[in-house]
Amino acid sequence: LASREVKEERTIINVKGVTIGGRELAVIAGPCAVESKEQLMEAAYSARQAGARLLRGGAFKPRTSPYSFQGMEEKGLELLAQTAQETNMVTVSEVIDEESLQMSLDYIDVLQIGTRNMQNFRLLKAAGKSGKPILLKRGHSATVEEWLMAAEYVMSEGNQQVILCERGIRTFETATRNTLDLSAVPLIKGLSHLPVVVDPSHATGKRDLVAPMSLAAVAAGADGLLVEMHPDPARALCDGPQSLNPREFSELMERMRPVAAAM
């Protein structure tokens, strides 16, 4: 179902008037985790002002350590919905199991399945039944074939609205958090009709690398980007070192414009 052999025409996903996979570059921006009303509001206003239409923020955080901040859960979902309404944005948030998926249905427009759950097949099937667009991140050790098969799980349950997100893979390199596989973008676009977005934040783990990799992703043909942005990265509860501040984000959006226009 994900293959171009089955469907030649590219899939364009329309969420409340915001398109992913169309001519316009889809930019998803916001903090790693929803931390407070003030933090989310500030992030949303600056993201929207800079031109992003999709607001991200984790309410359920799949952290490596059980002692790290785990997210605000339902309160975080409520804040996302409320903030998106005030800023005229569309929300993207990660679900980590069937329970968080069910809880998110009333609040969230695009459900994210994270790298650690890319092969959680029951969750993929539940996502397929949800009726919501799914942002499916590449597993950090998944091949392109395995990633497309994960998309197939969602689609085979009747949900054709899948957005693939390259977020870096594990290699021997430790200088960056992961290794961004930009070649996956044109590769997937040759194999599948689904839109592909790139997450330079989790791919690199380093703020200074986010802008160059964003520009490269757009030049490689990505349909959009997922960028972590925080009003005060030094005080972020999660992923501060890779988060842009609002000024850096707005500068990136400016630099991206001519590259996107050339594509």
Residues forming contacts to ligand PEP in the complex (CB under 6 A) are 32, 58, 94, 114-115, 137, 167, 202
The residue assigned the tokens 């392109």 is 144
In 3D space, the residue among 205, 145, 212, 160 whose CA is nearest the CA of residue 21 turns out to be 160
In the complex, minimum distance from the CB of residue 66 to ligand PEP, in angstroms, rounded to a whole number: 15
Q: Enumerate residues 28-47 that contact Mn ion by CB under 5 A.
A: 32
43 vs 260, beta carbon nearer Mn ion = 43
By beta-carbon distance, which residue lies closest to ligand PEP? Answer: 114
109 vs 239, beta carbon nearer Mn ion = 239
Q: In which region does residue 30 sit, left (phi positive, over 0), alpha (psi from -120 to 50) or beta (all else)?
A: left
21 vs 76, beta carbon nearer Mn ion = 76
Residue 198's binding partner, choosing from Mn ion, ligand PEP, none, with beta-carbon cut-off 5 to 8 A by kind?
none
* Cα 101 to Cα 73, 97, 125, 140, 261, distances in angstroms: 11, 6, 11, 22, 36
- Residue 91 has what DSSP assignment? E
* Count of Cβ atoms closer than 10 Å to residue 70 Cβ: 17
In the complex, minimum distance from the CB of residue 56 to ligand PEP, in angstroms, rounded to a whole number: 7
In the complex, minimum distance from the CB of residue 230 to ligand PEP, in angstroms, rounded to a whole number: 12
Report how far residue 48's alpha carbon sits from residue 205's, in angstroms, rounded to the nearest whole number: 23
196 vs 227, beta carbon nearer Mn ion = 227
In the complex, minimum distance from the CB of residue 43 to ligand PEP, in angstroms, rounded to a whole number: 13
Report how far residue 207's alpha carbon sits from residue 214's, in angstroms, rounded to the nearest whole number: 11
Chain contacts with Mn ion (rule: CB under 5 A): 32, 239
